[in-house]
């Protein structure tokens, strides 16, 4: 059988044990999937950190940039955190990604491990749903200089330190003043991130087809400060007015320590992450399954 995707990069979750290596079960899962892909006519490559953490040596090893330049598909085995990390880095290459879920929730790594052998063959033959997710591009500006920048797929979060009081943040949208907010922090979330931290802070879920963001205050001092949905064509500026130990998080991976007067500017990136889902996939089925909407009370 000939696959539509000739070269497939296999990417596993990182640091699944306290020693920093993948567990035996994760390693065996990756080996099983690699053998399966070979039977489907694919040339298998291994992402460099995955190879280092597993000790799997029988496949060519590529770094992320080499995967973007040389591979037709990235197959991510893990949870949503694994997919977020590799998605940000491969977006500029336009490399499509399929997720096999070995995590707990799996909103974007949506193929259960125990079904991959039935689910993947038609996808490898071109029968899939494509799902484009724009990234957020964020910069931290201090004294009119960019001191930090990062991409995020889920959210940009400005918040207080664990032992400090509220922060005061000045919020602007496209240069127009919105409000000074006193709160524990502020979340700017994409539709992808609307089912993550934003949801736990009381924000709405945004369908992935909506070109928007949601602005969600975290435990605001004034209860009338409510979440608001914005166009993702807008630029959001958040200035630190007061507060101690304030930081900015980008997908909860990278971190910038902030000073009073720092401005965090968030705009839509020119890059999108390309997810491929099984044919017939739909967002509402994912919500029903992951949020257990159809389960009755006891």
Residues recognised as catalytic:
80
Q: Are strands 254-257 and 247-250 parallel, antiparallel or unpaired?
A: antiparallel
The count of other CB atoms within 10 Å of the CB of residue 293 is: 9
Q: Is 87 helix (H, G, I), strand (E, B) or coil?
A: helix
For 120, phi then psi, to 5°, come to -70, -40
Q: Which residues partner with 240 through β-bridges?
A: 169
289: left (phi over 0), alpha (psi -120 to 50) or beta: alpha
Whether the CB-CB separation of 183 and 225 falls below 8 Å is answered with yes
Residue 263: name the closest of 245, 244, 250, 248 by CA.
Answer: 248
Q: Which residues have CB under 8 Å from 115's CB, separation 6+?
A: none
Task: Give the 3-state secondary structure percentages of the chain, helix then strand then coil, rounded to 5.
Answer: 25, 40, 35
């Amino acid at each position: 059988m000939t696959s539509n995707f000739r070269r497939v990069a296999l990417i596993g979750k990182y640091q699944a044990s306290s020693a920093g290596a993948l567990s035996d079960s994760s390693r065996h899962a990756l080996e099983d999937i690699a053998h399966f892909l070979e039977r489907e006519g694919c040339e298998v490559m291994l992402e460099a950190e995955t190879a280092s953490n597993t000790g799997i040596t029988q496949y060519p090893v590529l770094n992320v940039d080499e995967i973007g330049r040389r591979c037709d598909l990235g197959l991510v085995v893990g949870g949503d955190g694994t997919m977020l990390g590799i998605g940000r880095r491969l977006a500029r290459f336009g490399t499509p990604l399929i997720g096999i879920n070995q995590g707990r929730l799996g909103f974007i790594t949506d193929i259960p491990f125990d079904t991959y052998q039935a689910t993947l063959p038609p996808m490898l033959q071109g029968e899939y749903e494509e799902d484009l997710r724009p990234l957020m591009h964020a910069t931290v500006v201090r004294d009119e200089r960019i001191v930090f920048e990062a991409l995020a797929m889920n959210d940009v979060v400005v918040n207080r330190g664990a032992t400090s009081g509220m922060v005061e943040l000045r919020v602007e949208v496209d240069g127009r003043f919105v409000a000074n907010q006193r709160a524990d922090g502020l979340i700017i979330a994409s539709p992808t991130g609307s089912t993550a931290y934003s949801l736990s802070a009381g924000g709405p879920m945004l369908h992935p087809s909506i070109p928007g963001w949601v602005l969600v205050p975290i435990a605001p001092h004034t209860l009338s400060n409510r979440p608001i949905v914005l166009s993702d064509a807008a630029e959001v500026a958040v200035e630190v007015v007061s507060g101690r130990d304030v930081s900015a998080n980008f997908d909860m991976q990278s971190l910038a320590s902030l000073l009073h007067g720092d401005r965090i500017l968030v705009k839509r990136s020119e890059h999108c992450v390309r997810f491929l889902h099984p044919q017939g996939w739909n967002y509402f089925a994912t919500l029903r399954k992951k949020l257990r909407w159809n389960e009755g009370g006891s």
